[in-house]
Amino acid sequence: MSIKIALAGNPNSGKTTLFNALTGSNQFVGNWPGVTVEKKEGKLKNHKDVVLMDLPGIYSLSPYTLEEVVARNYLITERPDAILNIVDGTNIERNLYLSTQLMELGIPVVMAVNMMDVVKKNGDQINIQKLSQSLGCEVVEISALKGTGIQEAAKKAVETAQKKKRQDSVHTFRKEVEEVLGQIMDLLDSSIPEEQKRFFAVKLFERDDKIISQMKHIPDVESLIKKCEETLDDDAESIITNERYNYISSIIKSCYQKKSRGRLSASDKIDQVVTNRFLALPIFAVVMFIVYYISVSTIGTWATDWANDGVFGDGWHLFGIGSSSYEEKAEEYDEMAAQVDAFLDAADENGISTEAVRAALEFDPKSNEGADMAEAASVLAAFQADAKNLTAAAEIKDEDGNVAKTIPVTADSFLTAAEAAEPDPAEFGIWVPGIPVLAEKGLDAIHCAEWLKSLILDGMIAGVGAVLGFVPQMLVLFIFLAILESCGYMARIAFIMDRIFRKFGLSGKSFIPMLIGSGCGVPAIMASRTIENDRDRKMTIMTTTFVPCGAKLPIIALIAGALFGGAWWVAPSAYFVGIAAIIISGIILKKTKLFSGDPAPFVMELPAYHLPTVSNVLRSMWERGWSFIKKAGTVILLSTIFVWFTSKFGFTESGFGMVEEYSETSILAYIGNGISWLFAPLGWGDWKSAVAAVTGLVAKENVVGTFGILYGFGEVAEDGAEIWGALAGSMTGIAAYSFLVFNLLCAPCFAAMGAIKREMNSAKWFWTAIGYQTIFAYVISLIVYQLGTLLTAGTFGIGTAAAIILVLILLFLLFRPYREADRKKVSVKHKNKVKA
């Protein structure tokens, strides 16, 4: 039989780092039965029969959070063979509180004092032998980050588990408490194992409802508890807490020597700057700007361009070999094309017909027969004769859209330019074909049916490829978030934001789910369960998905590229919109009866700063990225197939069947036209945009995938610019930003909706959350479009009037008095007066 070892410890104690180091890739991640708390299980390296269970990070075995309940239930009911208790050596007093509770479970315990490298660097001393004697268990020094001592800790845990020796708790409380606990233990029947009786006695003494509900026979101990409370003049729970800390203080006094007593540590000195009342927010803004600038505008964009244009486009030059030569030829060809366009435009202005010439120029010498080429040459020669006295000027623009040079064009130079062939990148250097090219060649080789070929190329590869092309950009972002999390700055962000969040009804802990939400909304919603106050937790769940997640990055990138020329400000503005939506929602919601009351106090441990390990950063990045890729390979694949089918099939005069590409008679067009009127006030009432917004409810990445299919991205995505041009031609800049805002703020994807339903644990609250998000998104998008149009174009109509009314309503809801709180204050004052 396999040996089960549970890893238990406080948050930020290094428990997960140790788990990753001991198990490597032998991990299984899921959820605990019945709840959405993450369950990590893995096999110890080189020990196939040893299973490690990474319990959620907890501060105690009291039922304050769902994580604590899950961890405690596992330890009580599953009874692992041993507990490897990870303790942060730099904050040993706080960590030993959980340790004293673990000792009472009767399960063999091995304590691993982590971060000993930092302890020694600070000049502090921990007497491991004395600590072991005081606690009555094996104690090992480790540094999970550097990998020192971890194998010894695992070996001790395995050996301790194999001995199957009961763990006796050596610590005792004061005489009055021990007498009552002894009497309670005597009243417990045989349904409670002998080694667990002290733990159950302590929990009965604390009046722990959840433990009491698990007991078959509940002895009447209330009179014993009340007598002890009267004797010690305190409530039962506080008595036990004080007794634990008195015991811990005696251990610390004999085992721990702090050199830097009264002196600031390196972490404290850094915190004086980064958590400073005035500098904290500017530093945080700079850090996040750098993260998103690198992720969205530089390295992330370069990687995404390679994925979109190369892997899911025509292909790429391996290691860039030959790319410079190709770019030179392509630039020359672009200049030739500009000369042709300029001359033809000039001909149109002078009344010379260019229709036949433009048709002739569409012939591709590589795919058309000689007769067609001869016909094209004849048309060009005739046109040259008609326009022999015509001259034109071709303007060549730089990357910023400014005219770099002007080239004069005559009839002779026009003909030379018209005969120029577009360079084939495959003829330069080492060319690697993209997935669509390889797939098309393979399908042609097996003489695949046209409809199936279209399904694979235009549906599956075009739709999913349009989404997966943004994976490199997201991976860069996830790396930076993992670094911030690993080094300890993430916890500081929560502390910094608490001062702001408290002003609109939330605590700083709400910011942690929101920050995680920049990666994915599902774990962000799940992270909200660490918020003890139920009202704060529900409000956090309702607002946390306003932060743009990784799946919304493709939408931001698409709108920025298509309508705003890749402007750098679009992405940061999307995040500021999300933050503003959270602030506005918090202020409005806290003034309702559902969310009235003060936020819970902010209590959070700030871990010491340390350099993150490459392995942990890459593991975190991969876990977040892989969840996105899996979604693209399942949900998004199925939805893009659905979009392809409904866009390719419809009802024609001859009946149901395939219709022309992206036809108005397709099933998808009928669906889109049926709902598009709803979005007309928002500026994007065309059926394609409406359908894209709806498919975004399945997965936000679908918005880009849907546009990819509807605009034929699979066939014209040589450099990704065609879909931008098509989208730019369908809506104005203000309408596009309205579209972006709606998709950022409306109800999240189905996966996140499922997480909301599980965390709310109530159909009423679930629909309240989804309804509020969708209505709020609609209102803000309408205001953005209508007032934006008024400011830019001076257009005033019914929609503008509605937007102004909505702004006034929002202002009223924001600034109205907090009457619920005022009534409570009056009530308290009245009670105090009566007492007086």
Is 114 annotated in a binding site? The answer is yes
Phi-psi region of 507 (alpha: psi -120 to 50; beta: other; left: phi over 0): beta
Q: What is the pLDDT of residue 599?
A: 54
Q: What's this model's pTM, rounded to 2 decimal places?
A: 0.60
Is 771 annotated in a binding site? The answer is no
Please check whether residue 539 is in contact with residue 505, taking contact to mean a CB–CB distance below 8 angstroms.
yes
Q: What is the mean pLDDT of residues 684-693?
A: 82
Task: Choose from 128-142, 318-332, 696-710, 789-803 the range with maximum mean pLDDT.
Answer: 128-142
Length of the chain: 836
Alpha-carbon distances, residue 386 vs 347, 352, 381, 395 (angstroms) = 10, 8, 9, 24
CA angle 448, 451, 454 (to 5 degrees): 90
pLDDT tens digits, 517-532: 776 777 678 767 667 6
Q: What are phi and psi of 656, to 5 degrees?
A: -80, 135
- Choice between 546 and 816, residue whose per-residue pLDDT is larger: 546
Is 117 annotated in a binding site? The answer is yes
Q: What is the mean pLDDT of residues 383-409?
A: 82
Task: Choose from 12-16, 247-251, 660-664, 822-826 the range with maximum mean pLDDT.
Answer: 247-251
Question: With helix as H, strand as E and coil as C, how does 770-823 read?
Answer: HHHHHHHHHHHHHHHHHHHHHHHHCCCCHHHHHHHHHHHHHHHHHHCCCHHHHH
Is 115 annotated in a binding site? The answer is yes
Q: What is the pLDDT of residue 776?
A: 92
Question: Taking each helix axis from N to C terminus, what angle separates 236-255 and 92-103, rounded to the nearest 10 degrees?
Answer: 120
Average model confidence (pLDDT) across the chain: 80
Question: Taking each helix axis from N to C terminus, what angle separates 570-590 and 553-563, rounded to the nearest 10 degrees?
Answer: 130
Report the C-alpha gap between 464 and 207 in whole angstroms.
55
Q: What is the pLDDT of residue 573?
A: 85
Picking from 800, 297, 817, 831, the residue whose alpha carbon sits closest to that of residue 567 is 297
Please report the DSSP string for 494-520 in residue order.
Answer: HHHHHHHHGGGT--GGGHHHHHHTTT-
Q: What is the mean pLDDT of residues 401-414?
A: 84
Is 20 annotated in a binding site? The answer is yes
Partnered with residue 651 across adjacent β-strands are 656
| Other residues' Cβ atoms within 10 Å of the Cβ of residue 592 | 10
Is 443 annotated in a binding site? The answer is no
Please check whether residue 79 is in contact with residue 53, taking contact to mean a CB–CB distance below 8 angstroms.
no
Is 55 annotated in a binding site? The answer is yes
Is 11 annotated in a binding site? The answer is yes
- Choice between 110 and 411, residue whose per-residue pLDDT is larger: 110
Report the C-alpha gap between 823 and 827 in whole angstroms.
6
Is 23 annotated in a binding site? The answer is yes
**Residue 821: pLDDT over 60:** no
In percent, how much of the chain has pLDDT > 90? 9
- Choice between 745 and 635, residue whose per-residue pLDDT is larger: 745
Q: What is the pLDDT of residue 819?
A: 55
Tokens encoding 263 = 């002196």
Tokens encoding 161 = 């588990």
Q: What is the pLDDT of residue 823?
A: 42
Is 13 annotated in a binding site? The answer is yes
Is 37 annotated in a binding site? The answer is yes
Is 54 annotated in a binding site? The answer is yes
Report the C-alpha gap between 125 and 118 in whole angstroms.
11
**Residue 835: pLDDT over 60:** no
- Choice between 162 and 306, residue whose per-residue pLDDT is larger: 162
Is 21 annotated in a binding site? The answer is yes
Picking from 474, 537, 544, the residue whose alpha carbon sits closest to that of residue 514 is 544
Q: What is the mean pLDDT of residues 572-577?
A: 85
Report the C-alpha gap between 464 and 22 in whole angstroms.
36
**Residue 601: pLDDT over 70:** no
Report the C-alpha gap between 206 and 675 in whole angstroms.
58
Q: What is the pLDDT of residue 34?
A: 55
Q: What is the mean pLDDT of residues 429-455?
A: 86
Report the C-alpha gap between 221 and 183 in whole angstroms.
9
State how beta strands 655-658 and 649-652 pair. antiparallel
Domains in the chain with CATH codes? 3-163 (3.40.50.300), 179-232 (1.10.287.1770), 323-431 (no CATH)
Please check whether residue 259 is in contact with residue 123, taking contact to mean a CB–CB distance below 8 angstroms.
yes
**Residue 674: pLDDT over 80:** yes
Q: Is 31 helix (H, G, I), strand (E, B) or coil?
A: strand
**Residue 246: pLDDT over 80:** yes
Compute the half-sphere exposure of residue 673: CA atoms within 13 Å on the CB side of its CA.
Answer: 9
**Residue 713: pLDDT over 70:** no
Is 116 annotated in a binding site? The answer is yes
